[in-house]
Amino acid sequence: MSYQKKFFRKPVKKHAPFDMAQVATGIHIFCDGACEPNPGAGGWGYAVYRDGVEIAHGCDGLAETTNNVMELTGMLKAIEWVLHAFMKDKPVTIWCDSMYVVNGCNDWRHKWKRNGWSRKGPAATKPETGEVKNLDLWKAIDEKLNACTGLKISWVKGHNGTVGNERADELSLMGRQQAMAAAGIEEPKAVVDYLTAEYKRVMAG
């Protein structure tokens, strides 16, 4: 979620605390993406848990990107971990707090693919062409999801105290910092102040 949206968003509906019993056994992966500001410097991250204990993680970023690209990349990297760990046919759940990514994985990509990877009708991203945004990432996600028979994609409320989600959020911010350091980019003061508060919130959780 972008810096601007966090300060100007409308009040959101409260959700019940995440039931940690859902992730106490088996393999569960939490993924996330961050971009401050949006568009701007961003990062992605994922954390893998086996029976409630973190066993692997990854993060990185880009100096110029968008929030949706980072959310999608976090999902893609999480799916790639499943494949690289030879768990494509095992029961694994990937948890993501982006409804755009979750709905795209579970529903929209099938419709887009049937339509030749275009969005037709009044809801098209670009009514003239029906072009799907971030098409390269969606095609990569589709290909890798199709190779996994036991994988489930589920939504988790972000910033709700869920350990795995908070960890993925932390990793995405770390990835963003890595990308900025590699590019030699300094943070704008407003973003520095925001991220300092965000790190304190994440680490307190």
The CATH number of whichever domain residue 102 belongs to comes to 3.30.420.10
Tokens of 54: 């973190």
From the number of C-beta atoms within 10 Å of its C-beta (0-12, 13-18, 19+), residue 126 rates as exposed
- Indicate if the pLDDT at residue 194 is higher than 90: no
State which residues form the domain around 138: 3-204
What average pLDDT does this structure show over 98-124?
88
122 pLDDT above the threshold of 70:
no
For residue 59, the cross-strand partners are 45
Share of the chain above pLDDT 90, in %: 71
pLDDT tens digits, 58-90: 999 999 999 999 999 999 999 999 999 999 999
Report the predicted TM-score, pTM, of the whole model to 2 decimal places: 0.84
pLDDT higher than threshold 70 for residue 117: yes
Q: Per-residue confidence at 19, pLDDT binned at 50, 70, 90? A: confident
Q: Report the alpha-carbon distance of residue 45 to residue 29 in Å, rounded.
A: 10
Structural domain count of the chain: 1
**Which of 9-48 are b and which e, b meaning 16 or more Cβ less than 10 Å from the residue's Cβ?**
eeeeeeeeebeeeebeeebbbbbbbbbbbbebbbbbbbbb
CA–CA separation, 82 and 88 (whole Å): 6
Q: Name the average pLDDT for the chain.
A: 87
Contact 100, 71 (CB under 8 A): yes
For the cut 70, the answer to whether the pLDDT of residue 17 exceeds it is yes
Kindly list the distances between the CA atom of residue 67 and the CA atoms of 25, 111, 205, in Å, as whole numbers in the listed order.
Answer: 31, 23, 23
